[in-house]
Chains A and B, each alone.
Chain A
Amino acid sequence: MSETSPNNEPSHSQAHPPAGSLSSDQRAAYWSRNIRLLVSLLLIWSVASFGCGILLRDWLDQWVMPGSSFPVGFWFAQQGSIIIFVVLVFIYARRMNGLDREFGVAEDED
C-alpha cells in the first residue's frame, strides 16, 4: 500500500550531479538497501497492528498473555502494537545511521 516501485528511475538520471560524493551506482545501492530495510520493518508494523491487533484478533483471543488476564489479540491492539512501533522506529534510525556511515554519506559531527 505504501510502497512505490523503486525501479522506475528514468534512464537519463546518470547525467545528474551526484548527491554527496556518490556515484550513481552507489546511490542506487544505498537506496535499494534503504527500501529493503523499510519494507521489512513495515511488514512487522502491519503484522503487529493490522495482523495481530485486528485480523487475527479473534483467533489470538483464545489465549491470554502470560502472567496476566489480557486476551492476546486485545493486548496487541491496546498495548503490544504500540510497543512494537517504538522499537521499529529506533531500529530504523540505528540501521540507517549505520548505512550512512558505510556509504560515507553520514552527516558530519559537530
Chain B
Amino acid sequence: MDVQSWTFVLVGLSFALYIGVAIWSRAGSTKEFYVAGGGVPPLANGMATAADWMSAASFISMAGIISFAGYDGSVYLMGWTGGYVLLALLLAPYLRKFGKFTIPDFVGDRYESNTARIVAVLCAIFVSFTYVAGQMAGVGIVLSRFLEVDQTTGVLIGMGIVFFYAVLGGMKGITYTQVAQYCVLIFAYLVPAIFLSILMSDNPIPMLGFGGSGVDGVPLLQKLEGLHKDLGFDSYLDGSKSTIDVFMITASLMAGTAGLPHVIVRFYTVPKVRDARKSVGWALVFIAILYLTAPAIAVFARTNLLDTVSNQPYNEMPEWFTKWESTGLLAWEDQNGDGIIQYTGLSSSIPNELEVNRDIMVLANPEIAALPDWVIGLVAAGALAAALSTAAGLLLVVSTAISHDLLKRAVMPDISEKGELRAARIAAGVAVVIAGWFGINPPGYVAETVALAFGLAASSFFPALLLGIFSKRMNRSGAIAGMVCGIGFTAGYIIYWQFLNREISAADRWWFGISPQGIGALGMVVNLVVATVVSRFTAPPSVGVQAMVEDIRVPKGSIPAHEIEV
C-alpha cells in the first residue's frame, strides 16, 4: 500500500473508533453531559485530560518550535507541565470538593456575585474560542495535506466528527473518546521518534538518544550546535531570549495552564477528592511522555533537515521536498542562481534561500527520515486525534458556559433539566459551527491571541481561584478589583505590543525586557496585590461563604457534584 492508502485506512479506523465509543457512552442527563456523571476513574480521567490538553499545537508545532528555538523552547516544556503541579497542589482537590460543574460556578458562589460569574463566563468563552480556531485549522491542514482534499472539506469532515460525539455524548462521550484519542496520538508520536532515535543514535529511547552519540560517534547535541554555528543560526543550547523573559514566560504559562477552564473542569469528573489528586498525577505522566519526547524529536529532525538540505543541489532533493513545497510550508528561492540550497541564519554572510515552516518538522519528519509508509499515515491519524480531542473539550466548555452558567445560573433559573440539556446541545452545535468557520477562515494572528488566552487565564482565573481557596478573608470587592486590574493590565500590555505597535515591538523597549507572552505572570502579581489590599479595606465575606471555604479544605463529606443545593 502507498502512503495515501495507509493514511485513509488509519484515519478511517480511528474515526470509526471514536464514533463507536461516542455511541456507547452517550449522555442522558445534564450531570452526564457536564461532568460525565462524576464517575470517571482517575487513570481514565488522566488520559482524557492529557488528550484534552495536548492540542494540534503540542502534537504538530511544539517539537518544531523547539527545533528552531533550541533552549528557548524550554519555556513551553516547563510551562505547560509545571502548571499541573500548581493545579494538583493548589486547585484541583478543593474544586472537586466544591463540586458543581464549572469555574464560573465557583467564582460566582465563592464571591456571591453574578457580575463575577458573568466575567468568568466571558473569559472562559474567549479563551476557548481562541484555542478552538487553532484546532480546526490544524485539522484542515492535516486532512488537506494527507488526504489531498481542500482545506474547507477537511475542516467540514472534522466538524462533522466533533459535532457527532460532543453534541450527543457531552462530557461522558468526550471523556471516553479522549481516552481512545490519547492512545492513538501517543502511539503516533512515539513510533517515529523511536525509529529516528534508533537511526540516529542507536538508542531506542528517544529521551536518552538525543543526549547520546550519533552513529558517527559525535554527540548529537554537539553536532547540532556546530551546524547551527557554521550556518549562522542562534546557538541551539543557549537560545537567544533573555533570562528574565524565559523566567516570566515560563511563569505565565504555568499559571495560565492551571487556570484554563477546559483543564480544570476535568477534575470535576472524578468521584472523590482523593481521585482528583491522583488524577492530576496520571494526567501529568501521560503528558510528560509526549513532552519528554518532543525535545528529542526536535534535535533529530533539525539535524536531519540540516544534513539533508544544507548546501545540496536542489535537483537532488528527495520527493518529500517538492511535495511540501506545493503546500507552501517549505519554500526555496535560488537567490544566487547556483541551483544549490543555501540554508543559513541571520548571522551568516550568505543570504538564506530556504523558508521552513515549523509545523513540517513533525509532519514531514517520517518522510525526511525515509520511514515506512504506514508511519506517515499514523502521524496523520495522531495529529487529528490531538486536534479533535482538544476541540471537543473546548466546545464543551463553551456549551456549558452558555447553558449552565448563563442560562441556568443567571438568566433563567427555572429552566428544566431537559430544557437545560437541550440548550447545552444546541450551544455545542452552534459552537462547532463557529469553530469551523474560524478553521476555514483562520484569523491571521492565532499565535498572538493564544498569548492573550494564557495571559488572561494567568491574571484572572488562577489568582481568583487561589485566593478563593487559600484566603477566607478574600471578598467580592477584592476579587473583582483584582480580576479587573489583572486582566486590564495584561490585556493592555499584550494589545499594545502585539496589535497596535507590532512593528516597533522589541526586547529593549519592553518593560524590564518582558515580552507580551510573559506579561501574564506580572498581571497575576498585580491581581494578587490589588485583591489583597482591597479586601482588607472592605467587609469580610458572609458567614456562609466562610463556612464553605472551611468545607472545601477538608475532603470528608465530598458531596457528589450536583447534589449541593444552592
Of the residues A4, A61, A97, contact of B466 by C-beta under 8 Å: A4
Spot the interface stretch: B78-86, B114-122, B144-152.
Answer: B78-86
Q: How many pairs, one residue from A and one from B, have CB atoms within 8 Å of each other in the complex?
A: 180
Which of A21, A75, A83, A92 is close to B288, meaning CB atoms less than 8 Å apart?
Answer: A83
**Given contacts A45-B85, A49-B82, A107-B556, is CB(A68)–CB(B247) below 8 Å?**
no
B556/A53 in contact, CB under 8 A? no
Whether A81 contacts B82 in the complex (CB less than 8 A), given A1-B525, A19-B554, A86-B288, comes out as yes
Complex-state Cα separation, A49 to B253, whole angstroms: 13
Residue pair A69, B284 in contact (C-beta under 8 Å): no
Closest to B471 in A: A4
> Using Cβ atoms and an 8 Å threshold, which residues of chain A touch B556?
19-21, 100, 104-107
The residues of B that contact A54 with a CB separation of less than 8 Å are 243, 246-247, 250
Interface set, chain B 430-481, CB cutoff 8 A to A: 466-467, 470-474
Docked-complex contact A69 and B553, CB < 8 angstroms: no
With A and B bound together, what is the CA distance between A92 and B277 in angstroms?
A: 8
Instruction: Name the prevailing secondary structure of the B interface residues.
Output: helix
A89 to chain B: which residues have CB within 8 Å? 84-85, 88-89, 277, 280-281, 284
Given A69-B221, A105-B556, A17 contacting B547 (CB threshold 8 A): yes
A13 to B128, CA, bound (A): 38
Q: CB within 8 Å of B: which of A64-110?
A: 65, 68-71, 74-75, 77-79, 81-83, 85-86, 88-90, 92-93, 96-97, 100, 104-107, 110
CA distance A86 to B84 in the complex (A): 9
Q: How far is the CA of A106 from the CA of B93 in the complex (A)?
A: 13
Does A36 sit within 8 A of B, measured CB to CB? no
**Distance from B187 Cβ to chain A, minimum over Cβ atoms (Å):** 20
Partner of B274 from the list A38, A53, A100 (CB cut-off 8 Å) is A100
A85 touches B85 (CB 8 A): yes
A105 touches B554 (CB 8 A): yes
Contact between A5 and B220, CB atoms less than 8 A apart:
no
A2 to B251 CA separation, bound complex (whole angstroms): 11
- Of all chain B residues, which has the CB nearest A37? B89
Q: Tell whether B376 is near chain A: CB-to-CB under 8 Å.
A: no
B470 and A105: CB pair below 8 A?
A: no
* From A13, A16, A38, A86, contact of B90 by CB (8 A): A38
B358 within 8 A of A: no
From B52-60, B207-215, B407-415, the one touching the partner chain is: B207-215
Q: Which residues of B contact A107 (CB under 8 A)?
A: 272-274, 555-556, 558
Contacts of B473 in A (CB 8 A): 8, 10
Separation of A8 and B132 alpha carbons in the complex (Å): 41
A79 touches B292 (CB 8 A): yes
B285 sits at the interface (CB 8 A): yes
Interface residues of B in 257-305 (CB under 8 A from A): 271-274, 277-278, 280-281, 284-285, 288, 291-292, 295
Interface of A is mostly: helix
Which of the listed residues A12, A79, A104 has the most CB atoms from chain B within 10 Å of its own CB? A79
* Structural contact, A9 and B472, CB atoms closer than 8 A: yes
Asked whether, in the complex, the Cβ of B85 is within 8 Å of the Cβ of A2, the reply is no
Min distance, Cβ A102 to any Cβ of chain B, angstroms: 12
Say yes or no: is B74 at the interface (Cβ < 8 Å to chain A).
yes
A86 to B288, CA, bound (A): 8
Given A74-B237, A85-B288, A89-B88, CB of A96 within 8 Å of CB of B93: yes
Contact with A along B537-563 (1 / 0, CB 8 A): 000100100110011011111100000
The answer to whether B285 and A86 touch across the interface, beta carbons within 8 angstroms, is yes
> Which chain A residues border B277 with CB–CB below 8 Å?
89, 92-93, 96-97
* A53 closest partner in B (C-beta): B78
Residues of B within 8 A of A92 (CB): 88-89, 277
CB of B460, distance to nearest CB on chain A (Å): 15
Q: What are 26 A-B residue pairs whose CB atoms fall within 8 Å in the complex? A: A8-B473, A10-B540, A13-B472, A15-B543, A16-B546, A19-B551, A19-B557, A20-B557, A27-B550, A31-B553, A50-B250, A53-B250, A55-B243, A69-B211, A69-B219, A69-B220, A71-B221, A77-B77, A81-B77, A83-B288, A85-B84, A86-B281, A93-B277, A104-B556, A105-B555, A107-B272
Question: Which 9 A-B pairs have CB atoms at the shortest separation, nearest pair first?
Answer: A69-B219, A20-B556, A77-B74, A68-B211, A105-B556, A93-B277, A70-B211, A89-B281, A19-B554
Q: List 4 additional A-B contacts (Cβ < 8 Å) besides A4-B467, A38-B90, A107-B274.
A: A19-B551, A69-B220, A71-B237, A97-B277
